[in-house]
Structures are given as C-alpha cells and as structure tokens.
Structure 1
C-alpha cells in the first residue's frame, strides 16, 4: 500500500507476502464484527490483530494510509478505533514481509512502524519479545479479545507467565516458590529479549532455552499464548494440513492459575481436556464461562458450632493462606479455621523434611486443582445444616464410575397401521445409513492406522516415556522387596535390584525426593526414549505416582566399571574393549542419534558392564540436548558433572560442546590404565620425600616427557600402568590407548578429537595396525 490508498472492508482486498505464506486484511471475529489482522494464508490462523478489543462494523469500515504517513482504522467511516500515529514528510509504503511482519517505511528505508513491535498473543520466528512487549492471550477459542494471561519479562528480568484476572493476579510460571537459579534462570540480564528461530530453537536472555521436538525441520512455526494460559510452540504439518504442538511450557494444565475460577476444582486426565467442577455447596456464576468461577449456595455463620468440614482428598488451592501454622494437630487446625469468619477451608499436610503436620487456613479458594498424584487434602468449611446434602456432591471428586443399576429408556408407541410404502422407505433408509456408518468406520480405522505408521512421532507435543511400560509404585516396591537390595547410588538417587512380574531382573532407580523435580525425571526418560545402541543402557519403564519418580532399567550383572576397577577381574583385553565400546556409545550420542545429546557426566560409575563385560553408558539425567547446526552456542544454566572429570570449559565459562564428554572419557581411560583415581590425585616421590598432590593428567604427561629427555631401559608406559595387572596383553596397543586418552584431555577443546575419531583410532589399533 502507498500513501493515499486504503483497504475497504466491503471489498475482498488483502495484502499478501511475496512468498504467499501470510495475508493481512479484515478478519471476521463475530456477527458483523471485524478486526484488521495478519494470518497464515493456508490455515487462516491469526497471528496479529490491530483492534482485537474494538472490532469494526462490516460496512464502510476501512484501513487508510494517509498522506502524512499515519495509518488509520475507521469504524463505519466515522470513528477511529486504531492508528499508528506515525508522521512522514516523504512518501511511505506499507508492505507485508515474508516473515509475517507488517512494515511501514519511508523512501529512505527508515522503518516508522512494524507489527513485530506490537504482538498480540503470538510470536513468529525472528520476532523478538522484549522488555517493552508482551503476549496477551485471547479470551476464548472464539473470542479474540484480550484474555487473562500474559507472557512478559518481570521486574527480576525473568520471562514469566501471569494470570491477570478480574480480581487477583499471580505469576504461575516458572513455579513461584522457586528462586531464579532453582528454576534454571538468571536474573542478571538487562537485555530482556527472547527470540524463536525458524528451525525451532527458542532462546531467552534469562537462560531459558528450548528446542521443538521437530527441531531442524523447515516448517511454518508460531509460539502462541493460548486462552488456557499455556504457552505452546506449533509446527505446521503439511501432510495432514494441520498445526501440531511441538513444545509447551506447562505439562499439567490444572496448575495454571485461574484455570477454573474461584471456588472450583480443575481435574485433568491425560488424553482429554481439563475439567472444571464447583465445590460442594457452590454453583457456577456464569453457566457459559468458567473464569467467573462458582459462588456459595449458603451463608457461613461465625458461630463455630454451626460449621462442619468436608474432606476433599488429593486437592489443593495454591496461595491465599491467612497464616502458616507448623506442627499443628488436626484439632488445632480446625479451631484456627473455625475462629476466623472469613476462613473458607484449610489444607493439612505432612511434611517429611520436618516430620511435622502443617496447617494452612485459606480465605480465598483460588487456583484449585484435583489430582490423584497430589499428596495433600483440603477440608472445606460448610454449614452443618446442609452438610449431608453436600456430601453426595463431593463423591464426584473420587473419579469412581459405577455401572450399577439399569436406566430404562423412554418408549414411544405408534399406531401399527402404517402405510406399506412409508415402512419400506424407512427400512431402506436405515439400511443405507447403516452401510454408510460401517464404511465410515472402516475408513476411519484405516486412516488411524496409516497415521500411526507414518508419523507417530508427530502427534502434538511429546509425552515423556509413552513408548515404555508405566509401572505402579506398588509393583516396583514389590519387585524390590521394599527397596532392600541397593546396588548403586548417585547424585539423583539410589538404584535397587528387583525382579519384575515377568521374572526379568531389573535395576530400579529411585530418584531422591529432594531432587526429584519433573525436569530431572523427564530429561532422563525422554532422552533415553530416543536412544537405541548396544553400548547404551536400555530402559524398560518408569513410574510417576505422587511424589514417587522411578526408572526401570535392564540389570547389568557386573555392575559399574568403578566397582570392577578395584578388582582384578579386568584384563588388558577386556579394558581395551570397554574403552572402545564406551567410545562407540558416546559417538552415537554425539553424532548418530536423532537428537544431539551431551552426557555431561562420563565417569566409571556411569559405565555399566553386562554378563560378558560389554560396556553400556548409563545415567543421562545431566545430559543436554544440543543444537544440530550450532553446537558452539550451547547454553547451560549451571555446571554439570563430577569433580575430576569436568573439562576446563566448565570452570572458565567457555562454550560447552561435545568435547566436554571427550575430556571426561580421556580421564576415564587414564584411570583404567593407571589404576589411579583422578579425584584422589597422584602422589610423587622426589628424593625420597613425598611431594604434593599431582593431577593424574600431569603425572602421565610428565612420565611420557621423561622418556624423551632421559635414558632408561623401561618404557614410560610400564611406569604408569596399573602394577596389579599382570600378563600384558599387547604393550603397543596399551600405549596407543594412553596416547588417545592424552589427546582427549587437551586443555584446548579444539585440539581434542571427536568421539567418532576416537572410535576410528581404536578400531584401527584393534585390527592390528599401530
């Protein structure tokens, strides 16, 4: 559009981007109600609106680019409802770019205004979210006006989701009870900017980053804050001509504040949408909108003898406690609520860290949700006079269905003397209808089967561990005989030996309650779920039940490499095969699997040995999915790994790449050959006096350098190898193994080989060439 021109609502005129992906024009949002919007041409999915809260009339409304450089949107040719308030002395042009950005610029190329600076509920690739912008959800699926949810940078410089309701407001993401570093964020960022790229990588200045589950695919994408309060990344699936969710911020939708309004409970079943229910004794305020919540059908008396409490199991209302009363008895908690006229309920929970019962009386019942996984109960304050009538209503929260009894269908009897032609037509119509139903059912089944076989990994966002068996906590407790036989312990929890119901022996990892955040659990499950290699541990299933998080692995008969290094069961041939197999597993993680994965904690404790002493790399809880196209720009919110095995990049805050695993691998190989621990260091003897601690890497390098500067009858390899190992298998191959390890532990990451290069060198050596 050039100045002096306009788009009329009564003509089918639109702006189209050069690539045809985006269109801009008047978009119908209701009966005789229109907004000027930008949308994807193929699906008519709106990504921006100028006047979302003030639609215009379907007659004589228009968008005009005035001669002074201002853009005006007028309603019915009379009222101005939106304007850019721009001024230009030279000629201007309004154009829709291939990115979906609507840009107003003058002849000198200066941008006077652009839609990317004023997002509504959607971010497009290359569109920045800054300190001065925010996303605001729509009101509902069909109401495009501003809703109650906002994505923005808060005063702590953190990218946050806010419920900004009509009565109250609260931040619900990241979890409000976490400080910034516990949520994996940093508040030390004045830039406050976040950008999504076209490949599916989102990066925020507060260290919040993610990649879509279809990262790298060249598809249309949009990051939208939904009317339900969840921020989701959508990818366009060309084959099915539909949008699919490739990432979302919140996995449990009922934890979103304001999901069901006041005095109501949100419940959710995987595979279906969330459901809202009024509390016993309450009714909906607005039968068409749950955001208004529920209102009481009774008047609460301040006389404590006239109130009674109803138990709602596995329920919670976040916030709005008028006090916190630790180590209170149940009766004391009841009295606290009875003595306060405005107390509507109380929560009474047992806290294992303090071994005490705590009382939380509440004045407002907001952000309520019900889940069988939640460990906690709510006691609802109700009048005694109506208590019995509300008890039956409470049973719906138990989610127990019953098929007892029979419902008799109403029957309508008609005169049997029906015209024969009419009867024939009725039977014929029923037959044709039945045949159509059968055909539709067959076609539907075929489509479902086809979709499952052609793209099971494209069904919306990835739900962790859908490909594994989900065990109950009771099953795993039975399998481990009450978690009695501990076979290992790490940073995230203990591992127990167990026998499953099908007689398979399994290693069952029980995550520590203090460290068992869902991020740790889902990281390990989702990553291992994508891996398949003979030198990587195989996972059979998982359990997520209440506070319990468990993982079920194949059992490795000979335990960890760390355990076996202290014994004499490993000869030189076995150790070479362990080094080679471990290298193959890591090379697969870095270069061959569907996702680039860094292990970040390679050490002998995480290399397990099967019945034939074949190695399998385990424990991916600290791993980090990497950007295929830009490994040098990876960002970690905190150091990861184990002291002694961590590459210098961690200490000096350098870019983290796959070379950190290469360094750790080199340390492991040196430990295997020398029989010495890198964590304990190496003592050296100088003139009969024990010198101070020396790093294992330095000690090995010094031994190698001494051979070049002194005359000795023994090889430097003989000086460093484990003296407890006898019957040298092949000194030449052991020497190559050490030299490869020394390359892996170079200070400069660029001087280290990749794991695939390590594999090639060791295979070359194994085949007899030195």
Structure 2
C-alpha cells in the first residue's frame, strides 16, 4: 500500500476551515480493500484513511501518506486482530463504516446514532462523518489513540495510550491523561491512577475543564475553561513547511516530533517529557530493573532470575 506522495500540493498555511471547504467527500457505498483502492486521501494527499500493513496482516487507520516515511497517527479498534488481504471496508448505504473479514466477521469502526450522509478525510488528519446538514456526527479527533495532531485537543478525562511497539499499534503500557483536576499526567496504564504512580505531570492542579492543545507551529499548551493559557509546555517552532505531532511512544515517553519538507525524510524530536529513558514506571517487569545503555532503556534481571521472554 503506497499512496502516491503529493506534497507539492500541500500548503501548511491553510487553516482548518479552508481545508474543510476543500474536502473530498466520500459517498455512501464506497469501499476499500488492503491491496486495491486501499485508502481515501485528504485533498492535499498528506493524510489518508484506510488499510495499512502490519507484520501479521492489515489494520485500518489514519496515516501520513504525503511524506516518504509513512507514519501511523490513529488506529481503529486497535486491539482487534489484523485482517487478511481479502478483507473489505465498506461505507454502507445506511452510513455505517464496517470492516468485513474473510471469516465473515463484521466490525463497526465508528459508532453513531444519527444518520450519516457522507465522510471526509481532512488535511488536518481528522476523519469525519457528516449528516445531510453538514453537521459533524463522528470524528477521529475525539477518539485519539497514541497521537495528538495540530488542531486536535485532548479533552478532560481523555487519554493518549501508547502502542505495544512501533509496528504493533495495539494498546501498550503507558498513558497520558488529561485529568478533571486540571493536571496532565503520565501513568503506567495497569496501575491505579494516583500521584505515587505518576512519572510526569504538568503541575496545573485546581483548574476546570482543562484541554491540551497543539498548534501548527508546535506550540503545546494547556487551556482552562475561560480560554486562558495556564501553561506553555513548548513555545513553538516557527519553521516553514514543517508539520508536528505529539505522541506517547511505546517506551512511555511523551515526545513532540517535527518533519520539515525541505529536509530529509526523518522525524526530529523537538521536545520530550524526560531525557531519562528509565523514568517511565513499569517499563521493566517483576524482578527486573532499568539501566540506560546508549541512551536507551535496558531491562536487567536481578541476580537469580532470567527473562521470561528473551525476544522481548
């Protein structure tokens, strides 16, 4: 699955309303397969919604198709088993988005209670289902997985949850939680949420309806119910032809990445929640401890123990 890059048409100066006006509508009855007509592109070709390959099959998600290094930013039903190359995703005549496997299994990829008339993959990276009155019925921006994109907000009591690995996008070990007390906190996912289990926090207690926001220039900040910025996490990186994304990585560290269209094909780290790769609690399992080797976390067994799974 290699959608043709069309970065020459992408204009980073376009705002959300302009992108929505230029949207490509996806009509009822449209369908995708992993190996033929495998994605729906945004108007500029920067983002795509559709099938992407995993080591043991295919998953459905949103990815950056307009850069050489295809990057997954959202996954539908991330803990479902991958499907084979004979699967089909259909935007049915009644507005349901259904994934059908060759074994006859049907999975709904977006839950709606209002009639849907069409869909669009926007240049913001948001996949949206609309009513006949052009009202938003469902959008991927309200159901994040491990990544926050510019223009997307992390609302109160919503979490970013890390993936198992860079190639396995099912639920991993760590989360970033926008708490109702106004604090943005990182936790190991399996432990009860609470101060003793946190390994990074914004220290913004006592505010109401706080949201985490990311702007096009990489400005990452917290806003309260009045619309006031209560904390700047980053001040932004105003570079031309650059895109950003915030991700909680499989190792539990929150990182802000940037990609410059005039540079090489790699992502650069603009900011991270810690420079110590052993900071995330729970990175190493029972009877083990973490050491840093060549700036990467390495889990070592205490004397008398050995790894349960040497491949992990």
Work out whether the TM-score is over 0.5: yes
Q: Deviations over 1:575-632 (max 9, x none)?
A: xxxxxxxxxxxxxxxxxxxxxxxxxxxxxxxxxxxxxxxxxxxxxxxxxxxxxxxxxx
Answer yes or no: is 1:120 the counterpart of 2:138: no
2:198 corresponds to: 171
Alignment partner, residue 268 of structure 1? 292
CA distances 1:344-371 after superposition (whole Å, capped 9, x unpaired): xxxxxxxxxxxxxxxxxxxxxxxxxxxx
2:289/2:302 contact within 8 Å kept: yes
Going from structure 1 to structure 2, the CA distance change for 1:193 and 1:155 (only over 3 Å counts) comes to closer
Q: 2:3 corresponds to which residue? A: none
1:143-197 superposed Cα distances (whole Å, 9 cap, x missing partner): 21110111112353311111023x77732112xxxxxxxx6x3322221211100
| Greater RCO, 1 or 2 (C-alpha within 8 Å, sep 6+) | 2
3-state SS of 2:267 partner: strand
Cα distance, 1:215–1:276 mapped onto 2, change above 3 Å: farther
User: What's the offset of the Cα at 1:247?
Assistant: 0.4
| 1:189-268 equivalent positions in 2, closer than 5 A | 189-205=207-223, 207-211=230-234, 214-238=237-261, 239-268=263-292
8 Å CA contact 2:41–2:49 kept in 1: the answer is yes
Corresponding residue of 1:38 = 62
Matches within 5 A, 1:139-158: 139-158=164-183
Work out whether 1:74 is the aligned partner of 2:92.
no
Mapped contact 1:71–1:86 kept (Cα < 8 A): no
Tell me the residue number matched to 1:676. Answer: none
**Bigger proportion of residues as strand:** 2
1:373-388 equivalences in 2 (<5 Å): none
Deviation at 1:12, TM superposition (A): 3.4
Superposition deviation, residue 87 in structure 1: 4.4
Computing the radius of gyration over CA atoms, which structure comes out larger, 1 or 2? 1
Provide the alpha-carbon RMSD of the alignment: 2.1
CA distance in 2, matches of 1:114, 1:87: 13
Q: In the alignment, what sits opposite 1:401?
A: none
Shift of 1:212: 5.9
Q: Is the 8 A contact 2:181 2:208 kept in 1?
A: no
Taking the aligned partners of 1:213 and 1:97, their CA distance within structure 2 comes to 23
What SS does the corresponding residue of 2:258 show, helix, strand or coil? strand
- Mapped contact 2:58–2:85 kept (Cα < 8 A): no
- The 1:215–1:247 alpha-carbon spacing in structure 2 relative to 1, beyond 3 Å, is farther
2:129 maps to: 104
1:282 to 2:298 alignment: no
Is the contact between residue 62 and residue 74 of structure 1 (CA under 8 Å) also seen in structure 2?
Answer: yes
Matches within 5 A, 1:683-722: none
Structure 2 CA distance for aligned equivalents of residues 251 and 225 of structure 1 = 14
Within 2, Cα distance between the matches of 1:265 and 1:205? 37
The TM-score with structure 1 as length reference comes to 0.34
**8 Å contact from structure 2 (residues 219, 236) kept in 1:** no
Contact 1:189 1:205 in 2 (8 A): no
Q: Could you say which residue in structure 2 is the equivalent of 1:55?
A: 81
Question: Any residues of structure 2 matched to 1:128-139 within 5 Å, and which?
Answer: 128-139=153-164
Q: Secondary structure at the match of 2:306?
A: strand
Query: What count of residue pairs does the alignment treat as equivalent?
Result: 276
Distance 1:266 1:138, change over 3 A: same
Cα distance in structure 2, aligned partners of 1:60 and 1:134? 33
What's the offset of the Cα at 1:93? 1.1
Which secondary structure state, in structure 2, belongs to the residue aligned with residue 34 of structure 1?
strand
| Bigger fraction of residues in helix | 1
Tell me the equivalent position of 1:629.
Answer: none
Cross-structure match for 1:15: 40
Cα distance change on mapping 1:225 and 1:212 into 2, 3 Å: farther
CA deviation map 1:22-52 (0-9, x unaligned): 1121011122x21111111112100001032
Q: Distance in 1 between matches of 2:141 and 2:83?
A: 26
The Cα of 1:134 is off from its aligned counterpart by 1.3
Distance in 1 separating the partners of 2:187 and 2:260: 30
Residue 245 of structure 1: how far off its partner (Å):
0.2
Q: Deviation string for 1:453-479 (max 9, x for gaps)? A: xxxxxxxxxxxxxxxxxxxxxxxxxxx
Structure 1 unmatched runs, 5+: 175-182, 290-770
Q: 2:49 aligns with which of 16, 24, 47?
A: 24
SS in structure 1 of the partner of residue 278 of structure 2: helix
Structure 2 Cα separation of the partners of residues 272 and 187 of structure 1:
32
Residue in structure 1 matched with residue 111 of structure 2 by the alignment: 85
Distance in 2 between residues matched to 1:28 and 1:124, nearest whole Å: 22
Distance 1:56 1:276, change over 3 A: closer
| Kept in 2: contact 1:69–1:88 (CA 8 A) | no
Alpha-carbon distance in structure 1 between the residues aligned to 2:210 and 2:133: 30
Which structure 2 segments of 5+ residues have no match? 1-25, 225-229
Query: Aligned partners of 1:208, 1:162: CA distance in 2, in Å?
Result: 20
- The alpha-carbon distance between structure 1 residues 77 and 275, as it changes in their structure 2 partners (threshold 3 A), is closer
